[in-house]
Structure 1
Amino acid sequence: MAILALPSGLCSQQHRVPAGDKVLPAGLSDRIEWVEIQDLVTELAMAGFRRLPQQTDGLTVGESFEADSDEAKPPFHDHIMQAARTYQVDPYLIRAIIIAESSYNPLAVSRCGARGLMQLMPRTAKSLGVADSFDPAMNIDGGVRYFKLLLDRFQGDVHLALAAYNAGSRYVRQYGGVPPFRATRNYIKKVLHYQKKFQKDMAENAPGRPAA
């Protein structure tokens, strides 16, 4: 199947379709600059996360994520854990989505108008009852609730839920799976990469782990 660019300038009613990927002269440089900035900020944020001491001995994944001391907690830890408990979504996956969407910037605004940590479109935020998309607690709660709805809609398939979160459910339905958009496929890979990285980093920093 051919890998397509995202349709230019479209914003999904569900979430959003990143703009500027199809027509090279019309905004591609802005899109590339945005992606490069996000990747740079992500690396800086991840460098800080890797330095955090972790406390995981004898705990499950969710419990170990929650058990960090106040000094060791990564950004927005409490809000993420609250949403993870409420909607039964892996906290590492939530954090990975936030990294991919905004690189921990609660004031991030995309060219398409998506806002906050989990990049909610205004229509989506309104439908979820999110009064202020720049409020980390509200944005994370709304974003995770929306992602959980997508997980349920696609029978727990994380790949399809991520594709729908990035490009919109209608494209997932239209193509009968992950849409052949390079940006969407790269987005899925990025989120799953960071989810595994968070899990690995937590396990490697567990007290009592034998030295390699």
Structure 2
Amino acid sequence: MSVRPYLARFALLGAVLAAPAARASDLYSYVDSDGVAHFSNAPSDPRFRRIARLKDGGGVYRGGKAQARARPLPRSEAQARYREHIRAAATKYNLPEALLLAVMAVESNFDHRAVSEKGAMGLMQLMPGTARDMYVGDAYEPAENIEGGARYLRILANQYAGDMVKTLAAYNAGPEAVRRAGDGVPNIPETREYVRKVVALYEAYKAGR
């Protein structure tokens, strides 16, 4: 799967992949004078402060099977149900709303009570450890779950320099699996299919379909 076409479509926020001293599992943040929150795993600005330490290998399914395989809700219905939460998270973490919709569609089919066989929870299917690291108190509460999933996507996007394919692969299988795959998409059928579906839905939602 070619990753180059997606690089320009996935905006970055803050410093990325710079200081060698920073741990890839640490998350740093600061809020600038305009009220914009900046996040990075490799801070280059003295205003950054560490706010979380992620466990290596953290992902959503870690090889487990996604629960939701039904046809996703139409874009208009999904947006109507969670529009305010999606917009807030997309704005805060500088992510496309279409990407959050696509991830939710594949992860849970927009079922906020969804639970995978591996224990991933809610709309963005957060594993318990990932939910804790993303400060999600109730993974079944839509606003908290969407916020946590968006925060984790931003961390991964910063880690992979905005590469959407690698970001999605790590969201599904975990950053450690991506590392073991030579910084590429792991040869895991579920993960490859997951990336394909999310990217296809992202393009469809972005086009208004």
Structure 1: runs of 5+ lacking an equivalent:
1-11, 20-30, 53-70, 203-212
Q: Could you say if the C-alpha distance between residues 128 and 195 of structure 1 is closer, same or farther in structure 2, counting changes exceeding 3 Å? A: same
Deviation at 1:100, TM superposition (A): 0.6
Residue 18 of structure 1, CA deviation: 3.3
Residue 40 of structure 1, aligned match among 70, 74, 96: 70
**Amino-acid identity (%):** 37
Shift in CA distance, 132/112, structure 1 to aligned 2, threshold 3 Å? same
Distance (Å, rounded) in 2 between the aligned partners of 1:72 and 1:129: 24
Return the TM-score normalized by structure 1: 0.67
Which residue pairs with 2:60 in the alignment?
Answer: 15
Unaligned runs of 5+ in 2: 1-56
Q: Which has the higher strand share?
A: 2
The answer for the alignment partner of 1:196 in structure 2 is 203
Partner of 1:139: 145
Paired with 2:149 and 2:191, the residues of 1 have a C-alpha distance of: 18
* Counterparts in 2 of 1:201 and 1:169: CA distance versus 1, 3 Å: same
- Is this contact kept in 2: 1:75–1:104, CA < 8 A? no
Instruction: Provide closer, same or farther for how the CA distance between residues 41 and 111 of structure 1 changes in structure 2, counting only shifts above 3 A.
Output: same
Q: Which residue of structure 1 lines up, in the alignment, with residue 172 of structure 2?
A: 166
Pair 1:182–1:140, CA change in 2 (3 A): same
SS in 2 for 1:39: coil
State the partner residue of 2:102.
Answer: 96
Mapped contact 2:156–2:170 kept (Cα < 8 A) = yes
Contact 1:84 1:91 in 2 (8 A): yes
Structure 2 counterparts to residues 115-130 of structure 1, below 5 A: 115-130=121-136
Contact 2:78 / 2:110 at 8 angstroms: preserved in 1? Answer: no
Q: Within 2, Cα distance between the matches of 1:196 and 1:89?
A: 14
* 1:154 to partner: Cα distance: 0.7
Which amino acid in structure 1 is aligned with residue 61 of structure 2? R
Larger Rg over CA atoms: 1
Task: State the 1:74 CA deviation.
Answer: 2.9
Structure 1 contact 87–145 (Cα < 8 Å) conserved: yes
What per-residue deviation string (whole Å, max 9, x for no partner) do you get for residues 56-97 of structure 1? xxxxxxxxxxxxxxx994331110100010000011001100
Give the RMSD, CA atoms, in angstroms: 1.9
What displacement does 1:171 show? 0.7
Q: Is 1:185 matched with 2:192?
A: yes
Q: Give the Cα–Cα distance (whole angstroms) in 2 for the partners of residues 110 and 39 of structure 1.
A: 11
**Aligned pair in 2 of structure 1 residues 149, 190: CA closer, same or farther (>3 Å)?**
same
Could you tell me the TM-score, scaled by structure 2's length? 0.68
Kept in 1: contact 2:59–2:172 (CA 8 A): no
